[in-house]
Chain A
Amino acid sequence: MAFGFCNVLPFSSFLDENENGLRWSCMASHRVGPVGETGLSDSGPSNPHVPYSVFHGSNVPTSFINQEGSAFDFRELEEAIVLQGVKIRNDEAKAPLFTGRPAATLEMFPSWPMRFQTTPRVGSSKSGGESTDSGSAVNTFSSKAEVQLESESPISNKASSSDHQAFDHQKHLQLQQQQIQQEMANDRSRAGPSQNQSDVKAPQEKRKGSGGSSSTSEKQLDAKTLRRLAQNREAARKSRLRKKAYVQQLESSRMKLTHIEQDLQRARAQGLFLGGCGGAGGNLSSGAAIFDMEYARWLEDDHRLMAELRTGLHAHLSDGDLRLIVEGYISHYDEIFRLKGVAAKSDVFHVITGLWMTPAERCFLWIGGFRPSDLIKMLIGQLEPLTEQQLVGIYRLQQSTQQAEEALSQGQEQLQQSLIETIAAAGPVIDGMQQMVVALGKLSNLEGFVRQADNLRQQTLHQLRHVLTIRQAARCFLVIGEYYGRLRALSSLWASRPRESLMSEDHNSCQTTATDHLQIVHQSAHNHFSTF
């Protein structure tokens, strides 16, 4: 069974019982100053999560959790209790037995798993009126301890909650604490009747066996020395562990640093650092960051839906089935326009400057997205064969998108002109502020333009769906998806293309010719486009 203990047990003479006992006593000798002595400082290995309980003295709160360990030498506990009692009596003047360590428990008996880490406050609420048994004992020990103690004791007191032998042990502990209170010094009669942990074999046996220990002081001396030694060992062990953890942390940080430096180098080479432009420095607003994430997810969905389109076309699905897939793809685009609308409300600059796009796409940016007439231009050659009516429809669509684009562009130009006048006209301070306010008002119109541009894109896609047959529409959307996929791939290729500036200083290696460049690019392009 696992046992942990959170108390100072000045007994370390029983070290050699077993490994666990040894460990225990190591812990035991940890911090607790022996009764009546200043004892060891509690500078030993301090597991911050280990709750401490201070029963005596201000300087030696020690609680140690030994979560492993099975057998347990109860004699040591007994001695500890005794010494505790002695100490308490001696130090009655000292009220706070706590040194304020966290989650102090009155667990003097390290033979049961300590749950104080997880239940500290859980029990405290229940502990209010329940700690009848432990109440007195608890109160006696420490006013502060009470708070934490209650977390343990009431749990133990509640038979219902003792689904854990720890609780039983705790209960036993309580009673024993009581007895320390009542029978100080040499009272060896651990209250048998209160023991209800039938599952604690060793302690009981040991207890009975230890009933006759005599020279407490003798053991105390030995205990003290041994405890000190054990404490040192423990401290050394803990500090080794800490050092190891720290070194590991350093190593991982170093790796991370080199990665970041590489990314930085690559990004610089790509020329993204244009005078500290918005997104490059990672200074994304929350709305922008959220949109970027949503866009990344949208791109994944895009791949998936395109695969569906592709398989649907090749499988020669019925028109009805294909229609479902096509409608799904259109809804997919409706979704990104909706997301862009939301993002434009919170960060219009992020959307309208296309920071969420790849650089190659951004070349063709028009009010926060693709230009619908460009799309039609791209599609015209790829949609054949078209009926006469369909051709007319496509050309009409091309014309209307061009007209709408022209209108929006001119509206945006007027906005820009008006902004220039407003910002340039800033006069003396007061007027200047006013001008800024006016400028802010004008900037707010940008969101409307993004909204209308996206509306135009959406209507264009819907109209394509209406002009074409379902099969043609499926092919059309597949072409659109592939087109933008290639554009995105172009950005990656461009970024990773070999350039002389990135080559080593060695002149020999710089002798890559243009054809070499092309070959390298061609190869990677080949890899990229293998899916198309």
Chain B
Amino acid sequence: MHYQTESWGSYMPTRSANVGDPLERIERLASENAVVIFSMSTCCMCHAIKRLFCGMGVNPTVHELDEDPRGKDMERALMRLLGNSSAVPVVFIGGKLVGAMDRVMASHINGSLVPLLKEAGALWL
């Protein structure tokens, strides 16, 4: 995701990490691990997506937005990013956005998910 970083880059260095653009934070968090899921502890679809990755033998990093002080902002940012009515669950693989549940499942069925996971080093076979 390149579109936002440059515009914010001008004043980024002067601010502390805590007062950052939510989208940037998302980006940053997403690139920290191979498989990153933004979720909410009460959301059952998020539970489903977690079970999907676990069932495949992947160990995703999950950020529960309802347990994060800046979760609200991030939730809004994700909604804008996806254009969805619901922000979660959202999956990043290898720092790149894959999408919400429907995109993840579609990519799994059409066989593109596993190569992506392997490429990111989340899956070995």
B36-62 to A contact mask, C-beta < 8 Å, 1/0: 000000101101110110011000000
B44 contact set on A, CB distance < 8 A: 411-412, 414-415, 418, 445
Judge whether B48 and A411 touch: CB under 8 Å.
yes
A-B contact count (CB 8 A): 70
B6 contact set on A, CB distance < 8 A: none
A74 on interface, CB distance cutoff 8 Å: no
Judge whether A406 and B55 touch: CB under 8 Å.
yes
B106 on interface, CB distance cutoff 8 Å: yes
CB distance from A143 to the nearest CB of B (A): 62
Using CB atoms, name the residue of chain A closest to B107.
A459
Using CB atoms, name the residue of chain B closest to A417.
B44
Judge whether B110 and A466 touch: CB under 8 Å.
yes
From A400, A410, A415, give the contact of B51 (CB < 8 A). Answer: A410
B105 on interface, CB distance cutoff 8 Å: yes
In the bound complex, what is the Cα–Cα distance between A408 and B49 (angstroms)?
A: 8
User: Which of the four size classes fits the interface of chain B?
Assistant: 20 to 34
In the bound complex, what is the Cα–Cα distance between A449 and B105 (angstroms)?
A: 12
Do most interface residues of chain B lie in helix, strand or loop, or is the interface mixed? helix
B55 contact set on A, CB distance < 8 A: 403, 406-407
A139-170 to B contact mask, C-beta < 8 Å, 1/0: 00000000000000000000000000000000
B1 on interface, CB distance cutoff 8 Å: no
From B42, B51, B113, give the contact of A411 (CB < 8 A). Answer: B51
Judge whether B111 and A404 touch: CB under 8 Å.
no
Within 8 A of B (CB), among A343-385: none
Do most interface residues of chain A lie in helix, strand or loop, or is the interface mixed? helix
In the bound complex, what is the Cα–Cα distance between A410 and B34 (angstroms)?
A: 24
A456 contact set on B, CB distance < 8 A: 105, 109
From B47, B86, B105, B113, give the contact of A410 (CB < 8 A). Answer: B47
In the bound complex, what is the Cα–Cα distance between A414 and B41 (angstroms)?
A: 11
Judge whether B45 and A455 touch: CB under 8 Å.
no
A175-205 to B contact mask, C-beta < 8 Å, 1/0: 0000000000000000000000000000000
B98 contact set on A, CB distance < 8 A: none
Using CB atoms, name the residue of chain B closest to A407.
B52
Q: How many residues of A contact B (CB 8 A)?
A: 28
A462 on interface, CB distance cutoff 8 Å: yes
B42 contact set on A, CB distance < 8 A: 418
In the bound complex, what is the Cα–Cα distance between A60 and B45 (angstroms)?
A: 76
In the bound complex, what is the Cα–Cα distance between A452 and B106 (angstroms)?
A: 10
A463 on interface, CB distance cutoff 8 Å: yes
A449 contact set on B, CB distance < 8 A: 45
From B51, B102, B111, give the contact of A407 (CB < 8 A). Answer: B51
From B51, B56, B106, give the contact of A459 (CB < 8 A). Answer: B106
B52 contact set on A, CB distance < 8 A: 403-404, 406-407
Known: A401-B109, A412-B48. 4 other contacts (CB 8 A): A414-B44, A414-B48, A418-B44, A448-B86
B contact set with A: CB distance below 8 Å: 42, 44-45, 47-49, 51-52, 55-56, 86, 101-102, 105-106, 108-111, 113
Q: List 23 A-B contacts (CB under 8 A).
A: A401-B109, A403-B55, A403-B56, A404-B108, A404-B109, A407-B48, A407-B55, A410-B47, A410-B51, A411-B44, A411-B45, A412-B48, A414-B47, A415-B44, A445-B44, A451-B102, A452-B48, A455-B102, A455-B106, A456-B109, A460-B109, A462-B110, A463-B109
The 7 closest A-B pairs by CB, nearest first: A411-B48, A407-B52, A459-B109, A415-B44, A410-B51, A407-B51, A414-B44
